[in-house]
Amino acid sequence: MAGVEFGWMPPVGDKTVSRQEFMGNVQRGLDTIVGHFDSVWFPDHVQFEDRDFLEGWTTLTYLAARQPLLKYGHIVLCQLFRNPALLAKMAATLQYLSQGNFIAGIGAGWNEAECKAYNIPYPGAGQRVDELDEALQIMKALWREDHVTFEGKYHRVTDAFCQPKPDPVPPIMVAAFQPRMMKLVARHADWWNTGFSDLEKTREQLAKLDEACHAIGRDPKTLRRTAMISCYCAPNEQKLQEMTSKHSGPFGVGLTGTPEQVVEQFKAIVDLGIDYFMISAGGFPDTTPSNSWPMRSCPPSMHVNPGP
């Protein structure tokens, strides 16, 4: 199998520290992972309960400029927030400025509360899937063709022109869980993304993904499988308990343990066919998870790129 790769999900904001301290911590995180992790990932929300939450596109663009040796993607862009032709132009621009390091992660949108708060239309689930389907058609056309005209039920462009073209065309990663979205992934995506919670649920999702690919004659092996996941890793049980009692990541506690224990947990997920992980490292800015990162201890059979 190909080497397993890892991306870092930095904190989305922190009202408990000063802006200067927060920015310094993020830069330190970028400096820590470069040369070890492959990428940086940031979510796309305008508000999330009463948490501090930085806007996704602005933040990712800033981070890409701060550390140009990494790849960058959203996990994932909400297609409800932006006109798809404008989004295609934004992606092409970032791909140009980042020298080809952008990955286009996108989803149908799910947080009704933030849409209501910001007066963003929030249609039913079926329409959101159809809108994303049309959006992806427009984006892919603008990245590859000149003078694009598209007339859909929800989106349209007329003689639209996008230069410079993204080079290379960004991989499209779609987050999906339900059957209609799985079919959309099979038609349009290069990568599939899920939020990992347990092995059995992920195994079922992967089976549905394979079914969707077979239904349209696509080889499932051509679709990269990725997962966002929280991880708390410490050199001993005492430090681990200290970290998990103080912090709660955006996706729950996730994988926990000493380096050796976390390696075994990752191996079980890799065995399902997932080879790319977007990790929220629990406890940041405490650098214990990074300094104790379990990938140092991975056996050769796991084919993992070593972590910091």
Query: By C-alpha distance, which of 72, 35, 41 is closest to 306?
Result: 35
Give rounded-to-5 percent helix, strand, coil for the chain. 40, 20, 40
> Does 238 reside within a domain?
yes
DSSP string covering 188-228, please? H-SEEEEE---HHHHHHHHHHHHHHHHHTT--GGGSEEEEE
Residue 292 falls inside a structural domain: no
Mean pLDDT per block of 10 residues along the chain (308 residues) reads 85 91 94 94 93 96 97 98 98 98 98 97 98 98 97 98 97 96 98 95 97 98 96 84 68 80 94 95 62 41 37
Whether 297 is covered by a domain: the verdict is no
> Do 194 and 124 meet the contact criterion of CB atoms below 8 Å apart?
no
DSSP lists the bridge partners of residue 104 as 172
Which pLDDT score is estimated for 297? 36
- Measure the N-to-C terminal CA separation of the chain; round to a whole number of Å: 22
Residue 185 lies in a domain: yes
**Planar angle of CA 240, 245, 247, nearest 5 degrees:** 95
The number of folded domains in the chain is: 1
Residue 88 placed within a domain:
yes
| Per-residue confidence (pLDDT) for residue 304, from 0 to 100 | 40
Residue range(s) defining the domain that contains residue 20: 5-281
- Give the per-residue pLDDT at 303: 38
Quote the pLDDT of residue 160: 98
- Give the span between the Cα atoms of 176 and 171, in whole angstroms: 16
Give a yes or no: residue 254 inside a domain.
Answer: yes
pLDDT at residue 259, as a whole number: 87
Q: What is the CATH number of the domain that holds 208?
A: 3.20.20.30
CB-based burial label for 128 (10 Å; 0-12, 13-18, 19+): buried
User: Beta strand 77-78 with 5-8: parallel, antiparallel or unpaired?
Assistant: unpaired
Asked whether residue 293 is assigned to any structural domain, the reply reads no
Torsion, Cα 195 183 107 103, to 10 degrees, reads 80
**pLDDT for position 287:** 56
Residue 246 maps to a domain = yes
Q: Provide φ and ψ at 153, rounded to 5°.
A: -75, -30
The widest CA-to-CA distance across the chain, in whole angstroms, is 62
pLDDT at 285 (0 to 100): 64
